[in-house]
Amino acid sequence: MSDRVGQVPLRTVGPGESLAASKLKLHDHVTAAARVAGNSPARYLGRPVPRWHRVAEIAIQVIALGVIAAVLLIFAFVAKEALPLLFSDKVHGEVTLGKMFIAQAWPGYDGAEHIWQPVSDIPKYGIWPLILGTLKVSIVAMLVAVPLGVGSAVYVSQYASRRTRELVKPVIELLAGVPSVVLGFFALMVMASWFQGWFGLESRLNALIAGVALSFAVIPLIFTISEEALGAVPRSYVEASTALGAARWQTIVRVLVPAASPGIAAAVALGLGRAVGETMIVLMASGNAAITSTSFVESVRTLSATIAAELAEVVFGGAHYTVLFFLGTVLFLTTFVINFLGDYAIARMKRRLGVAV
């Protein structure tokens, strides 16, 4: 880790000893060798090593550890603002964790219902309509994005000529670079009217529109990771399959895709994480009505869009504020778990194929 300028032990790899077995880092080995040659690392090209180098090295390490701190701080500060939901009596006057998850009997309704209506005479914080909305939009997005993303990855990595590949990949990267607010705008202003014309939908903005628009943001992610995974499958797999008499498509469907499946699974997982957390597209295109229904052509309200739409108008530290930060915590933990599983799948594939992706 440290450079230990001037204190490098004068020890090199002994005879018959491998560099790995000597427990010496390559760097130590080389500096020690350099010292033997009479060129002390404490003096570099005849000049003494400045002290600030050591300071800079410590700074580099501190900043790197800062990335861990950033993730912890994000969780800590979002969860901290949500904590009164569990412990504050003031907040409990309006809402408790139980009231959010268990159907409540509200005046004016028959029987117990899940209702999200935080701004009304009797604030209602039923979380299920939001979770359902998030699920509906994500399901639509994944149903569109997985076939298109994986399909185009298969085409680009297996069938496309080198020239086509070098054209298609940057263009799909461009799609990845389209800001989500532009996709939201396109869904809201253009796609919604088209869909309404084609399918005669009752509500112009709905889960279907939001999901399809969301898939445009997810497709490049799934494409990139799947394409990388397909490219990482060793050539010998393909050669063995071809030698056994398999046709190209048989090799792809029965050998390549199964071998790359953990990577493709990771692509799907990371895409799902993106779909669940994406905000601007669903905020603009989903209609934002917290309706509990199974229909995909009705307006929906997602967790992320709820935070974006409502936080600007709440009282700092109030019940509504606390609940919105709780939604943020739920989103953080959900995507954390999904991404963790995705990374795990990638690591597993690397190990199994014995390659570095």
Partner 1 sequence: MTASAVTPPVFDENPFVRRLRSRLGDLALVVATGSATLLVLGVLAIIVADVVIGGSQRFSWTFLSTAPTEGMTAGGVFPAIFGTVAMVVMMTIAVVPAGVATAVYLHEYADATARMTRIIRIAVNNLAGVPSIVFGLFGLGFFVRFVGTGMDFAFFGGQKVFGQPALVWASLTMAVLTVPVVIVATEEALRSVPRELREASLALGATRFQTVINVVLPQATPGILTGTILAISRGAGEVAPILFTGAAYYLPNLPWHPSSQFMHLGYHVYVLATQSPDVDASKPLLYSTVLVLLAVTFVLNLSAFIVRSRMRHRFTGAGT
**Does residue 196 interact with partner 1 by CB under 8 A?**
no
**Does residue 36 interact with partner 1 by CB under 8 A?**
no
Question: Residue 41's closest CA among 6, 10, 9, 12?
Answer: 6
Residue 251 Cβ vs partner 1, minimum distance, rounded to whole Å: 10
Angle at 357 between CA 150 and CA 231, to 5 degrees: 45
Which of 154, 256, 265, 300: binder of partner 1 (CB under 8 A)? Answer: 154
Residue 34 Cβ vs partner 1, minimum distance, rounded to whole Å: 5
Segment interacting with partner 1 (CB under 8 A) among 113-121, 125-133, 292-300, 335-343 = 335-343
Nearer to partner 1, 81 or 298 (CB): 81
Task: Please give the residues from 100 up to 129 whose contact with partner 1 meets the rule CB under 8 A.
Answer: none
Residues 6+ apart with CB under 8 A from 240: 255
Q: What is the C-alpha separation between 155 and 257, in angstroms, rounded? A: 12
Question: Residue 227's closest CA among 262, 260, 275?
Answer: 260
For partner 1, what does the binding mask look like between residues 229 and 258, x meaning CB under 8 A? ---------------xxxxxxx-xx----x
CB 229 within 8 A of CB 266: yes
Give the bridge partners for 124, in sequence order: 117
Nearer to partner 1, 36 or 112 (CB): 36
Which of 265, 304, 319, 345: binder of partner 1 (CB under 8 A)? Answer: 304
CB 211 within 8 A of CB 144: yes
**Does residue 297 interact with partner 1 by CB under 8 A?**
no
* β-strand pairing of 112-113 with 104-105: antiparallel
Which of 17, 202, 239, 343: binder of partner 1 (CB under 8 A)? Answer: 343
Residue 277 Cβ vs partner 1, minimum distance, rounded to whole Å: 3
Segment interacting with partner 1 (CB under 8 A) among 16-24, 89-97, 196-204, 327-335 = 327-335
Segment interacting with partner 1 (CB under 8 A) among 89-97, 111-119, 121-129, 171-179 = 171-179
Which of 13, 22, 49, 204: binder of partner 1 (CB under 8 A)? Answer: 49
- In a 3-state reduction of DSSP, which class is residue 291? coil
**Does residue 227 interact with partner 1 by CB under 8 A?**
no
Dig out the tokens for 66 from the structure: 């800062």
**Does residue 270 interact with partner 1 by CB under 8 A?**
yes
Whole-Å CA distances, 72 to 67, 76, 184, 336: 9, 6, 31, 12
Dig out the tokens for 35 from the structure: 């010292």
